Amino acid sequence: MKVLVVGSGGREHALCWKLAQSPLLTELLCAPGNAGTETVARNVDVAATDIKGLVKLAQAEAVDLVVVGPEDPLVMGLADKLRAVGIDVFGPGAAGSQLEGSKGFSKDLLERHRIPTAASRRFDRSGPAKAYLETCKVWPQVIKADGLAAGKGVIICEDYPEAARAIDQLMEERKLGKAGDRILVEEFLEGEEASVLALTDGEAILILEPVVDHKRVGEDDTGLNTGGMGVYSPTPSMSKRLLHQIEQRIVIPSIHALRREEIEFRGVLFIGLMITDQGPRVLEYNVRFGDPETQAIMRRIKSDLLPILAATAKGELADITPPEWDKRFCVGVIAASEGYPGSYRRGDRIRGLKAASGREDVVVFQAGTAKVGDELLTDGGRVLCVTGMGESIEAARDCAYEAYDDLKWAGKFCRRDIGARVEGRKEHIRKMLGNLDRGSNGAE
């Protein structure tokens, strides 16, 4: 099979790295790709948002399957256009992509189908939003831009003045453009976050092993939100019982909801959850693989990925035997550029990649890199994702951080606590589920 992967981040490097190992693969293309994908695929210089260019490329190259990495092309209808010319696509059409493209749309769907989520209100003018917030007695409150905002659209506000400022920035100054023309004001949920990714062709569902991302830039979950600073999998805190609950109350109802609304969905539904003491609640839907979640998943999935993605795209996921997983732990640490997630340095020479990648059980995925001649330079906020494997989470952490320390460039930084809070999380979740049991007479 000839496959085209769309995108240029660490997620796409990880997808290409895994797909390149498939015996079913004849050729792998990546558009536009990066210096990492170039090592395993043929990069083609077509932007991920150039919908016409991508359709033309897929036709000209007669690819059998297109795997779409980022959300923008999905929301723009890339999958519909490809399907219209008879090309199989892993990724939903524009209708299904609204689950990520519009927080209002996904909230409506969640509420209509009684899927547990935070209570919220919708506003399309700043005056009524502020008037409502002035009456709020419980803080913090969460303000969310309705549209796509590359991880910058959620603001947790501690009091009214902060909330009023956030509303002005979004709706008056239009800091995120039209993404902020409509907003949601949402109840703040306390608990532990987790991500669940489920492959689906609209009928069959294949839930992947759970992953935990670390969204804040600073250690101990402080500072600004980022696209994700590190990841680990599996998640010892997610007991079988909790996973079962998530499947029954959230994953299956979400996919049924799409079906009942006649929205075709062939791809991955990535559900951001808060495990609260009332049970799991949906924070958000994404309609694509997570970054850096995918890096850990690709390291741990042992089976051939290509037939799984192809079957999802064709509507034949039911025929697939569930994949085998490496039982070991994977920890992925993002090596970032000074300044990220604000404006960051770029153009610094990266050294030590060979040494880091040469270590046993280590794979370094590239995200924000640029190859200039023989040199590899930093070219993004999240530069590399260093993944390590180990029999325990501690061993996987040591493996990843030792390799991280081989890497050298001016302004490099990471969070040193990726996967460090696993025991604490376990305890917290156990306590929450205990409360839940007592509240419901142990009927869970």
Amino acid letter for position 423: E
Amino acid letter for position 356: A
Residue 437, both tokens: 């049991």
* Contact residue for ligand AMP among 129, 176, 238, 283 (CB under 6 A): 283
Question: Could you give the 3-state DSSP secondary structure of residue 280?
Answer: strand
Under the rule (CB under 6 A), what is the footprint of ligand GLY?
213, 227-228, 286, 290-291, 293
Around 372, how many Cα atoms within 13 Å sit in the side-chain half-sphere? 10
Distance between CA atoms of residues 22 and 18, nearest Å = 7
Distance between CA atoms of residues 15 and 70, nearest Å = 12
- The one of ligand GLY, ligand AMP, none whose footprint includes residue 154, by CB under 5 to 8 A per kind, is ligand AMP
Closer CB to ligand GLY, residue 293 or residue 379?
293
* Contact residue for ligand AMP among 39, 49, 126, 225 (CB under 6 A): 225
Q: Which stretch binds ligand AMP (CB under 6 A): 84-92, 184-192, 326-334, 372-380?
A: 184-192
Distance between CA atoms of residues 361 and 399, nearest Å = 7
Q: Is 176 in the site for ligand AMP (CB under 6 A)?
A: no
Give the shortest CB-293-to-ligand GLY separation in angstroms.
6
Give the shortest CB-124-to-ligand GLY separation in angstroms.
25
Footprint of ligand AMP on 144-163 (CB under 6 A): 154, 156
Closer CB to ligand GLY, residue 72 or residue 293?
293
- The one of ligand AMP, ligand GLY, none whose footprint includes residue 169, by CB under 5 to 8 A per kind, is none
- The one of ligand AMP, ligand GLY, none whose footprint includes residue 291, by CB under 5 to 8 A per kind, is ligand GLY
Q: Helices (DSSP H) in 68-125: which residue ranges?
A: 71-75, 78-84, 94-101, 103-112
What string of DSSP letters covers 126-187?
HHHHHHHHHT--S--EEEEESS--TT--EEEESSHHHHHHHHIIIIIS-TTGGGGSSEEEEE
Amino acid letter for position 110: L
- The one of ligand AMP, ligand GLY, none whose footprint includes residue 228, by CB under 5 to 8 A per kind, is ligand GLY
Closer CB to ligand AMP, residue 9 or residue 323?
9
Distance between CA atoms of residues 296 and 291, nearest Å = 9
Q: Is 189 in the site for ligand AMP (CB under 6 A)?
A: yes
The beta strands (E) that lie in 160-305 are given as 183-187, 192-200, 205-207, 212-213, 216-218, 222-225, 230-233, 267-276, 279-286
Residue 105, both tokens: 């749309």
Closer CB to ligand AMP, residue 382 or residue 412?
382
Give the shortest CB-321-to-ligand AMP separation in angstroms.
32
Count residues near ligand AMP (CB under 6 A). 14
Q: Is 115 in the site for ligand AMP (CB under 6 A)?
A: no
Q: Is 88 in the site for ligand AMP (CB under 6 A)?
A: no
CA neighbor of 310 nearest in space, from 25, 120, 17: 25
- The one of ligand AMP, ligand GLY, none whose footprint includes residue 142, by CB under 5 to 8 A per kind, is ligand AMP
Q: Is 186 in the site for ligand AMP (CB under 6 A)?
A: yes
Binding residues (CB under 6 A) for ligand AMP: these are 118, 142, 154, 156, 186-189, 193, 215, 225, 272, 283-284
